[in-house]
Structure 1
Amino acid sequence: MTETPTGQADDMRELSGVPVYVCSPEGPLLDGERAALDLIGDAGYRGASWVAVPAERCDPDFFRLRTRVAGDVVQKFANYRMSLAVLGDIEAHTAASTALAAFVQESNRGRQLWFLPDTAALEARLADPAR
């Protein structure tokens, strides 16, 4: 487990038989390639194939597609053959951007990046053999 400044810890969980590195709501923002590589390194060291990041740990620029933060982060995860789930309510972001809403919808069709409400939804998606 990795301690965050507030004492909450990121931890490994097995969700539907899949090793997932679940990040706590507290901790460094996912704000670009360096932060993505740090998460990938921590998760890979622990044997994870997925990283679950609370939406509040994503820098606001992650949800502004023109900044390319989300694209850069997702590309790093793809390069290292690891998948990313952003967990939580992002409705305010998708309501403000039709491009983001389309990006979320398209991402949720694949296996590289999912936007889901919580770990229970992630576990259910991982349990679906068609996914």
Structure 2
Amino acid sequence: MNIETHTIKDTIIAEVTSEDIIINSVEDGLDLLGNLYYDGFDKIIVYEKNITPNFFDLKTGIAGEILQKFSNYRVPLAIIGNFEKYESKSIKDFIFESNKSKHINFVKSLTDALKNLTA
């Protein structure tokens, strides 16, 4: 796992990259959040490819639990990926509602992620 730091307008953003899935469970998400928060990052970017597909099956509860923790700790999160492939109405609605809050963003590119996190 690699962490690239982006500093924009005094905001320190961690871009997490990896060749592997780094969030397989709620605990993995909490560990990532805790470690990056402890390291002084204000906001976090992760890639869809690094998150278990179970995250996008809302019945598992993984997405809800992880994103609730990001909200509780007030650490904005952007997830970069192609979300159009998900056909479930519930995940589409979930993504739509998350994007409205501006705290959790599902975006298509790093440029979009940085823009949303620093707006």
Given that 1:31 and 1:69 are in contact with CA atoms closer than 8 Å, whether structure 2 keeps it comes out as: no
3-state DSSP of counterpart to 1:108:
helix
Aligned residues: 119
Q: Which whole-Å CA distance do the structure 1 matches of 2:22 and 2:88 have between them?
A: 21
Q: Pick one of 72, 79, 82 that aligns with 1:79.
A: 72
Given the two structures, how large is their TM-score scaled by the length of structure 1? 0.81
Q: Is 1:22 matched with 2:15?
A: yes
Corresponding residue number in structure 2 for 1:36:
29
Q: Pick one of 6, 12, 22 that aligns with 2:5.
A: 12
Q: Is 1:89 matched with 2:86?
A: no
Corresponding residue number in structure 1 for 2:63:
70
- Greater fraction helix: 2
Corresponding residue number in structure 2 for 1:124:
115
Q: Post-superposition, which runs of at least 4 consecutive aligned residues in structure 1 deviate over 3 A? A: none
Q: 1:56 to 1:25 in 2, by over 3 A?
A: same
Structure 1 stretches lacking a partner, 5+ long: none
Given that 2:16 and 2:47 are in contact with CA atoms closer than 8 Å, whether structure 1 keeps it comes out as: yes
CA offsets per residue over residues 6-26 of structure 1, 9 Å max, x none?
A: xxx222212454211111032
Q: 1:117 to 1:15 in 2, by over 3 A?
A: farther
Given the two structures, how large is their TM-score scaled by the length of structure 2? 0.88
Counterpart residue identity of residue 94, structure 2: F
Counterpart residue identity of residue 67, structure 1: T
3-state DSSP of counterpart to 2:34:
helix
Identity among equivalent positions (%) equals 27
Given that 2:13 and 2:42 are in contact with CA atoms closer than 8 Å, whether structure 1 keeps it comes out as: yes
